[in-house]
Amino acid sequence: MTEHEIRYGLRTRVIGQSIEIYSRVESTNQLALRRGYAGAAEGTIVLAEYQTAGRGRHGRVWHSPHGSSLLASLILRHRLLPNQLGIPSLMGAVSITNALRELLNLPAMIRWPNDVLVCGKKISGVLAELDYDQNQRPFFIVGFGVNVNIASAEFPLSLRSSATSIQIEFGRNVSRVSVLRAILHHLEEIYSNLKLGSTAPIIDCATDLSTTIGKKVQLETLDGSFNGIAERIDAEGKLTLRDQSGRLHLFSSGDVVHAEDCV
Ligand code: BTN
């Protein structure tokens, strides 16, 4: 994957202004945070062929074989309001889901808050991180990993029943560059809403693409496990669960487990 290949046919104005590609890094999010701290331009994207310490949500590790996936971290400099902190990860999940649907016709859906699933198996994950640069200007990173050309046997046994890749679902290898370009186009479009101060279109898209809403779910959180019907994603990106006694509970993070994911 080269910068030249990515730029060819990329019609974004903000996203991908600067593209950095590495063969091996600890974590593209970690490197992007460093770049952001040092003042890198809005729209800078850091990509790697391999991560030695890829970061997942809740301190988990994100692992992909060398050269098989998209491992990307985008730096954006919009000042988020306190009630918009859940928006960056939704933006990532919506953009990836729409890209997989449009480009490859895959029935991708979002498991709240930001896992992208195809027929119940995880094909992509998003990790958003927020910080301030050395001039106290806020920025955030939208980091995403997409399993592109990974065969089933290449996933560790422990993930084989819960993870998938584009190669597995689409039936053949696809160009990582074309998938990346499609994601960046969607990110640019959806980010323009946030820049205009409007998060409703992002929430609406995340709700439309959600495989969680309307389902009976179990939510694993740091405070324990909750069961209920997932009713809606609120304006801040939080999940509303209605428990058996009819009471509503609001969650800003957690791992959702649902029985049936295939559309
Ligand atoms: C998750 O589902 O737990 C989120 C996974 C996010 C992984 C991506 S890979 C590229 C970027 N760099 C990282 O260290 N993590 C994100």
Give 206-248 pLDDT, tens digit per residue.
999 999 999 999 999 988 999 999 999 999 999 999 999 999 9
Residue 261 pLDDT > 90: no
Cα of 144 from ligand 1 centre, angstroms:
5
Residue whose tokens read 């101060």: 197
pLDDT computed for residue 96 by the predictor = 98
Mutating to test ligand 1, I would choose from 35, 47, 61, 62 the residue with most ligand atoms within 8 A of its C-beta, which is: 62
99 and 179 Cβ atoms separated by less than 8 Å: yes
pLDDT computed for residue 259 by the predictor = 61
* H runs (alpha helix) in 196-237: 200-208
pLDDT computed for residue 58 by the predictor = 87
Cα 80–81–86 angle (5° rounding)?
70
Residues 6+ apart with CB under 8 A from 171: none
Mutating to test ligand 1, I would choose from 55, 110, 141, 180 the residue with most ligand atoms within 8 A of its C-beta, which is: 55
pLDDT computed for residue 260 by the predictor = 61
Cα of 142 from ligand 1 centre, angstroms:
9
- pLDDT category at 115 given cuts 50, 70, 90 is very high
127 and 55 Cβ atoms separated by less than 8 Å: yes
**Atom number of ligand 1 nearest to Cα 62:** 7
For the record, the structure tokens of 139 come out as 């920025």
pLDDT computed for residue 262 by the predictor = 44
Residue 180 pLDDT > 80: yes
Cα of 62 from ligand 1 centre, angstroms:
6
Residues 6+ apart with CB under 8 A from 90: 113, 114, 202, 203, 206, 233, 237
**Atom number of ligand 1 nearest to Cα 71:** 10
113 lines ligand 1 (CB under 6 A): no
73 and 46 Cβ atoms separated by less than 8 Å: yes
Residue whose tokens read 């301190």: 59
Of all protein residues, whose CA lies closest to atom 2 belonging to ligand 1?
Answer: 125
Residues 6+ apart with CB under 8 A from 65: 50, 150, 154
Residue 22 pLDDT > 90: yes
Mutating to test ligand 1, I would choose from 144, 146, 165 the residue with most ligand atoms within 8 A of its C-beta, which is: 144
Q: Which residues pair with 19 in a beta bridge?
A: 45
Round to whole Å and give the CA distance between 217 and 139. 33
Q: Select from 82, 186, 80, 76 the least CA-distant residue to 124.
A: 186
56 lines ligand 1 (CB under 6 A): yes
In the structure, how many helices (H) and strands (E) does the chain have?
Answer: 6, 12
Round to whole Å and give the CA distance between 167 and 216. 30
44 and 12 Cβ atoms separated by less than 8 Å: no
- pLDDT category at 263 given cuts 50, 70, 90 is very low
